[in-house]
Each structure stands twice: as C-alpha cells, then as structure tokens.
C-alpha cells in the first residue's frame, strides 16, 4: 500500500455477518480487502489485494487473549513482522488511545479521538431503539494520528450514514516513506476494534 492516493475510504459490507470492508483510494480503486475471521478468541485479520481474495498481502495477529493492553502485530506476505499497533489499557475506555510501533519496537505515532464526547454520545444513543438509526448522521467521531512531535499526520473520520459503515482517511501532514503501511494497517485494526465498542 505504498504511494497511496488519499483520501482513502473504508466501506463495510452491510449484507454480511462478517466484519469485512474494502479500502478504496481517491479514484475509487480498491487498495485492500480486509477480512476478519469470526468467532476467534484472538484477533486474526487478513488483508488481501482486493475482494477476490486471490492475493494475501498482510496479516494482523493479536499477541494476547481478550486483554485491555493487547498489541496487534503486522506481518507481510513472507510472514515477517514489521510493526504493530497497541491499545493502551484503561486509557482506551474513555478516550481511544493506541500506539503505532515500528519494526524496532519504537513508538512512532499515537491514535486518539479528536473529541471524546462525540464518541460517548454516539455510543449512548446507539443503544436506544429507533434513535440508533440516526446516530450515523448526528455523531461522527474523528480520530487523529499524531507523530512524536504531537503533529497530526492522518485523520480518520466516521462518515454520515444510517448504519455508520463508512470511514474516510485523510493525509494531513507528512509520513516517512516506509510508514504508509504501518499507519494504514493500524487504522484498519483500529476501526475493527472501535466499531465493536460502539
């Protein structure tokens, strides 16, 4: 997923029980098809080139079972680990807090919510029958990826929709040339986890 044309849209399939989605670049061209294996105690995510699932490009695997501080490691097509994203325990209960770590086990970026109250209201109203159909239009959380200097480099936003199935990734600042994959895979894992939490 190098040299990505932003913005990128994550489009979830509404018609299936699986938690799958397609990532498309600004021209509408698919750049990845993300498939989450169902009924697994440990997360096991496959990222294919497209929805034909003919070519597997990456895997994401959890390193712990059902834990607040689980890390999700990235593997390329040759099964070589090249980074991970880690959810930071109790911080994530109120304000989503994830750290993107490189292949040398050094923290590179942090993912946080721009406004935690939007997510709280979105989650609360999402539990109310009838009103839950409209939360996708009323509340659309935005998440920021910041570098070690605290500057925003990428923004992830939930788009307006009845079912809250689409997200948009926009490039705000500069990324190192070899970080595109790690950041994009981190956001893919992040969306799968945060959608499940509300």
Instruction: Say what the pLDDT of residue 94 is.
Output: 60
Mean pLDDT of 115-141: 57
Closest to 100 in 3D by CA, of 90, 112, 118 = 112
**Nearest C-alpha neighbor of 43 from the set 95, 93, 86, 104:** 86
d(CA 63, CA 111) in angstroms, rounded, equals: 19
CA distance 141 to 114: 8
Percent of the chain at pLDDT above 90?
Answer: 51
Q: Please write the tens of the pLDDT for every residue from 147-174.
A: 999 999 999 998 876 655 789 999 999 8
pLDDT at 65: 55
Mean pLDDT of 102-114: 92
pLDDT in tens, 173-196: 988 777 889 999 999 999 998 775
Give the residue from 176, 170, 162, 118 showing the smallest Cα distance to 144.
170
> What pLDDT was estimated at residue 128?
55
Distance CA 62, CA 71 (A): 6
**129-149 mean pLDDT:** 70
| pTM of the complete model | 0.84
Q: 80 pLDDT exceeds 90?
A: yes
Q: Which of 69, 63, 45 is nearest to 191 (CA)?
A: 45
For a pLDDT cut of 70, what percent of the chain falls above it? Answer: 73
Among the listed ranges 100-109, 120-129, 177-186, which one has the minimum average pLDDT value?
120-129
3-state secondary structure of 22: strand
86-99 average pLDDT score: 72
| Tokens at 52, concatenated | 């034909």
**Is 50 exceeded by the pLDDT of residue 198?**
no
Of 186, 191, 144, 179, which is closest to residue 4 (Cα–Cα)?
179
CA 136 to chain centre: 17
How many angstroms separate the CA atoms of 38 and 36, rounded?
6
């Amino acid at each position: 997923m190098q040299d990505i044309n932003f913005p990128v849209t994550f489009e979830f399939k509404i018609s299936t029980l699986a938690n799958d989605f397609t990532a498309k670049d600004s021209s509408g061209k698919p750049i990845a098809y993300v498939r989450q294996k169902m009924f697994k105690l440990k997360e096991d995510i496959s990222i294919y080139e497209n929805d034909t699932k003919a070519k597997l490009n990456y895997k994401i695997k959890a390193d712990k079972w059902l834990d607040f501080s689980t890390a999700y490691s990235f593997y390329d097509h040759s099964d070589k680990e090249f980074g991970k994203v880690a959810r930071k325990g109790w911080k994530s209960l109120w304000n989503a807090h994830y750290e993107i770590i490189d292949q040398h086990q050094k923290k590179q970026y942090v993912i946080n919510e721009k406004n935690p109250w939007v997510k709280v209201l979105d989650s609360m109203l999402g539990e109310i029958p009838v009103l839950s159909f409209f939360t996708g239009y009323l509340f659309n959380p935005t998440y920021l990826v910041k570098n070690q200097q605290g500057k925003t480099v990428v923004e992830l936003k939930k788009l307006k929709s009845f079912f809250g199935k689409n997200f948009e990734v926009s490039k705000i600042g500069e990324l190192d040339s070899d970080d595109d994959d790690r950041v994009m895979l981190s956001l893919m894992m992040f969306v799968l986890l945060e959608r499940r939490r509300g």
